[in-house]
Amino acid sequence: MGLDITVGDYGFRAGSYSGFAEFRAVLAKHALNITLNSMIGFGEKGGNSWETINSGLKVLLDHSDCDGEIYPNQAMDLLNALKAYKAESGRKKAMKKEDDNDWYWEKIDEWISACKASIDQNCPIIFG
């Protein structure tokens, strides 16, 4: 069982639920320097507010891992943030060796493709 993403005529497997959680944790850590377990809705009771995060990545990081949608206007913000992160991370080489793997970067590229499909087809990214 895992998380499948569909966007009009495009789709991909985001991974198992634990794999998707790991993907988001690494993305949050390296792109925004936050720990998901410190945020409201994750980990411990309480947590830091998502209102303090000003990034297009927020819609992906603070999203249900089993259902819901990301709309085309949100996909545009997410696309811009993912592309900027990918370009920046290539220069910084900030990721630890164990985090810097083909699977992780393949998922980044799939999310970029999903965002493009959402914008081009004017349809939501559907978690299911």
Tens of pLDDT, residue by residue over 5-14, are 999 999 999 9
Look at 71-75, 94-98, 114-118 and tell me which has the smallest mean pLDDT.
94-98
Closest C-alpha to 115, from 49, 70, 53: 70
Tens of pLDDT, residue by residue over 36-56, are 888 988 876 667 888 889 999
Mention every residue, 6+ apart, whose C-beta is less than 8 A from residue 1.
16, 17
Closest C-alpha to 8, from 105, 95, 125: 125
What gap in Å lies between CA 29 and CA 3, rounded to an integer? 21
Closest C-alpha to 111, from 50, 67, 66, 56: 56
What gap in Å lies between CA 56 and CA 26, rounded to an integer? 16
Asked if pLDDT for residue 27 goes beyond 90, the answer is yes
